[in-house]
């Protein structure tokens, strides 16, 4: 497995990480615990050293599974987790909370669940408009000085918030959605990240599964699947967006790889400080994703992909209205 460094932070990780959310949260029933642990350990065996979780995934159960799975390999892996919500939510909605005292409480609880004495990368999950970002960054700075955290990250933050936070405590990485069907970060934050030496960690690099070709307009999701609430996954939008999957299929066939591998290889080719974290619950998908690291796209391949994709207008918002208001701040 190739390695990459997230910006100028000296945080070295595998070129591809594993997003662990889907093992416990958002995409239907949670994976049986021992199966989830086995999948995470299979990723370690295949060279993955970067694992992403959060207290809200479950809530709480995902951190616990990740902690147990990685305990035997703790000195070989980088664990990222997140704070930023009041949990458990009394009404099922996401209530932001990045007050300094709350951050400290979350970190202490996360350390226990993760079975570790230090969090490698601690993200603010969403920007809290009620707490100055300087106070958030200052709290994480203190936690770093205390040896409980190594690196500070932000998720779905806007350029000005990134700058303000970075001035207090250097930001090692920004995590946001980025893929062939959501390219806003290129214009919204890339120049800021490059200027400040901040790494970028794309989540949903396969469009929540859509770019793999395994989902079409007739796919029925589990009743608890988050995608049921996402406008981009309405039957009408899926039908309209199928053209993107078809284009990926043609490109994949020409190189004798899969759509997922093309989508991940494209991300890796954009910047050397990008480390995608595709998630999966299936071993064969994990192996497919890991294989993408070895897929080489030539400058002509990248031009052809950009040319084809630029002619496609993806239909549907990427979040329900209630969640959309918490991104890009």
Instruction: Return the bridge partners of 18, or none.
Output: 51
Dihedral, CA of residue 21, residue 289, residue 212 and residue 180, to nearest 10: 90
Supply 188's token pair.
Answer: 């919204």
Do 127 and 156 touch, CB atoms closer than 8 A? Answer: yes
Alpha-carbon gap, residue 176 to 155, rounded angstroms? 6
Give, to the nearest 10 degrees, the angle between helix 61-70 and helix 33-45. 50
Name, in order, each residue with C-beta under 8 angstroms of 107's C-beta and a sequence gap of 6 or more: 83, 119, 122, 143, 148, 149
Residue 57 bears catalytic tag: yes
Which residue do the tokens 């990480």 mark? 17
Helical residues (DSSP H) of 146-229, grouped into ranges: 159-168, 184-188, 190-196
Other Cβ atoms less than 10 A from the Cβ of 158: the count is: 17
User: How far apart, in whole angstroms, are the C-alpha atoms of residue 107 and residue 100?
Assistant: 11
95 to 54, 91, 254: CA distances (angstroms):
15, 9, 47
What is the DSSP code string of 242-298?
A: HHHHHHHHHHHHHHTS-HHHHHHHHHHHH-TTB------S-HHHHHHHHHGGG----
Catalytic residue, candidates 27, 57, 123, 178: 57
Active site residues: 57
């Amino acid at each position: 497995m190739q390695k990459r460094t997230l910006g100028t932070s000296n945080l070295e990780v595998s070129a591809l990480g594993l997003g662990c959310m889907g093992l416990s949260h958002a995409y239907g029933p949670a994976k049986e615990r021992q199966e989830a642990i086995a999948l995470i350990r299979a990723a370690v065996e295949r060279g993955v050293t970067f694992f992403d979780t959060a207290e809200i995934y479950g809530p709480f159960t995902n951190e616990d599974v990740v902690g147990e799975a990685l305990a035997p390999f703790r000195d070989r892996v980088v664990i990222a987790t997140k704070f930023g919500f009041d949990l458990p939510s009394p009404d099922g909605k996401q209530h932001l909370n990045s007050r300094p005292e709350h951050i400290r409480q979350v970190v202490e609880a996360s350390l226990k669940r993760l079975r570790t004495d230090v969090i490698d990368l601690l993200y603010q999950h969403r920007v809290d408009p009620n707490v100055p970002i300087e106070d958030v960054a200052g709290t994480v700075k203190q936690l770093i000085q205390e040896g409980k955290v190594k690196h500070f990250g932000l998720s779905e933050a806007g350029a000005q918030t990134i700058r303000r936070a970075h001035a207090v405590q250097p930001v090692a990485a920004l995590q946001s959605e980025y893929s062939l069907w959501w390219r806003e970060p290129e214009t919204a934050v890339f120049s800021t990240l490059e200027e400040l030496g901040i790494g970028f960690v794309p989540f949903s690099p396969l469009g929540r599964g859509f770019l793999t070709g395994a989902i079409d307009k007739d796919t029925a999701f589990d009743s608890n699947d988050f995608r049921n609430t996402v406008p981009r996954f309405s039957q009408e939008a899926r039908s309209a967006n199928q053209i993107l999957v078809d284009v990926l299929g043609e490109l994949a066939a020409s190189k004798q790889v899969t759509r997922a591998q093309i989508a991940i290889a494209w991300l890796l080719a954009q910047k050397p400080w990008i480390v995608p974290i595709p998630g999966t619950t299936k071993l064969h998908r994990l192996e497919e994703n890991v294989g993408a690291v070895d897929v080489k796209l030539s400058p002509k391949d990248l031009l052809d992909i950009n040319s084809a994709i630029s002619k496609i207008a993806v239909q549907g918002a990427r979040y329900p209205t209630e969640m959309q208001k918490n991104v890009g701040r």
